[in-house]
């Protein structure tokens, strides 16, 4: 989990998508996250964490359902939500945390 800690400790906000291969809503989120990444570019970093392969991280952040999105900056949890969220809404949320 050290590499994960290094990633979320960056000054650039990091959106972590806790997901699973078997999860249909997670598959729905994939193109939404691509759209968000395309619109926000280098202002945000988006990573996907498979909860089945990374159970320690999922347990640490108390992931109870997938997809769960958590926004970090400099190691601090800024925002989290479970479930599918439209790109426009997600972009608005992220932009409210970008300086």
- Residue 14: give its domain's CATH number: 3.40.30.10
Number of domains in the chain: 1
The least confident of 1-5, 12-16, 36-40, 73-77 is 1-5
The tens digit of pLDDT for each residue in 8-67 reads 999 999 999 999 999 999 999 999 999 999 999 999 999 999 999 999 999 999 999 999
Give the structural domain span for 6. Answer: 2-97
Both structure tokens of 15? 């959106």
Please tell me which residue in 8, 14, 26, 66 is annotated as part of the active site: 26
Catalytic residue among 23, 47, 85, 87: 23
Does residue 26 have an active-site annotation? yes
pTM: 0.94
Instruction: Spell out where the chain has E strands.
Output: 14-19, 45-50, 68-73, 76-82
Closest CA to 16 of 61, 52, 48, 51: 48
């Amino acid at each position: 989990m050290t590499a994960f800690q290094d990633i979320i400790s960056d000054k650039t906000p990091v959106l972590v998508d806790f997901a699973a291969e078997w999860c249909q809503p997670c598959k729905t989120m994939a193109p939404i996250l691509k759209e968000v990444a395309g619109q926000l570019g280098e202002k945000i970093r988006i990573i996907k964490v498979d909860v089945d392969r990374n159970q320690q991280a999922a347990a640490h952040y108390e992931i109870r359902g997938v997809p769960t999105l958590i926004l970090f900056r400099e190691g601090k949890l800024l925002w989290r939500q479970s479930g599918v969220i439209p790109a426009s809404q997600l972009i608005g949320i992220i932009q409210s945390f970008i300086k």
